[in-house]
Amino acid sequence: MDPRLLIAGVLAALMALPSQAFQVRPVRVDLGARQAAGQLVVSNPTERPVLVQAQVWLWSQEATQDRLEPAADLIVNPPIFELAPGAQQVVRVGLRQPLPPGREQSWRLWLSQVATPGAPGDGGVQMLLRVSLPVFGVGEAVPDPAPRWQRQDAGSVALSNDGGRHVHVRELRLQSDGLPAQSLGPCYALPGGGCRWTLPREWHGRPLRLEADSDAGRLRAQFDGPASP
């Protein structure tokens, strides 16, 4: 996984904590042929002003590896803004041109806190927050996702997506005779890409039963050994 995306995802998980510099709702943006723009609300729950800057990245996957490239096909307004203590800012996200038919497009929107001079008497290091939000654009005639499970080796499982829309796995649950059930974290499988989970060591090479909660429904699979079916 791209280290920038991993770090951003960890920071995004912290954004609901009241001690953080700013908060964002909702946590994703969906655009389409009939909805060319969406909006977010960014709020500052702290007692200090916060300066926030937006960046947009084209998000793709090669196999199970995330790739981010600078993108210019989304408009974010305002691209940089200051939030007074307790204030809110509406951020609008829109398409520069119509979406192509047949395939979903994916972006990552970064909202990053910009360093500012500390208050008098402050010492130490200023911790800056970055939130990474998924943005999806679906044009006309886009096929459904087509998830497919694989056991790549004794120590990992993967979910590939041969369809036209992403699959968001919210939780992956593992079961195997003689072991307590185990839950693994969320992941996005983009069209033509996928997710990969590393199994705990005690699960290596064992028969597995998988069940995942996703926006494509409940996904199940069973493996008798480490090889892919």
pLDDT tens digits for range 181-222: 999 999 999 999 999 999 999 999 899 999 999 999 999 999
- Among the ranges given (5-9, 60-64, 83-87, 131-135), the one the predictor scored with the smallest mean pLDDT: 5-9
The model's pLDDT over 131-189, given as tens digits with 9 standing for 90+, comes to 999 999 999 999 999 999 999 888 999 999 999 999 999 999 999 999 999 999 999 99
User: Both 91 and 155 in a single domain?
Assistant: no
Q: Domain containing 68 — which CATH number?
A: 2.60.40.10
Number of domains in the chain: 2
User: Both 133 and 40 in a single domain?
Assistant: yes
User: Both 96 and 199 in a single domain?
Assistant: no
Note whether residue 93 is domain-resident.
yes
User: Both 126 and 154 in a single domain?
Assistant: no
Note whether residue 103 is domain-resident.
yes
Note whether residue 184 is domain-resident.
yes
Note whether residue 229 is domain-resident.
no
Share of the chain above pLDDT 90, in %: 79
The pTM of the full predicted model, rounded to 2 decimals, is: 0.85
Phi-psi group of 86: left, alpha or beta (phi > 0 → left; psi -120 to 50 → alpha; rest → beta): left
User: Both 162 and 76 in a single domain?
Assistant: no
Q: Which is nearest to 82 in space by CA: 130, 127, 122, 115? A: 115
Note whether residue 228 is domain-resident.
no
User: Both 109 and 203 in a single domain?
Assistant: no
**Residue 85 in this model has a pLDDT that exceeds 60:** yes
| Amino acid sitting at position 118 | G
User: Both 26 and 122 in a single domain?
Assistant: yes
User: Both 120 and 215 in a single domain?
Assistant: no
The residue segments making up the domain with residue 114 are: 3-138
**Residue 3 in this model has a pLDDT that exceeds 50:** no
Q: Which is nearest to 130 in space by CA: 28, 24, 49, 47? A: 24
User: Both 20 and 90 in a single domain?
Assistant: yes
Residue 91 is predicted with a pLDDT of 98
Note whether residue 79 is domain-resident.
yes
User: Both 126 and 198 in a single domain?
Assistant: no
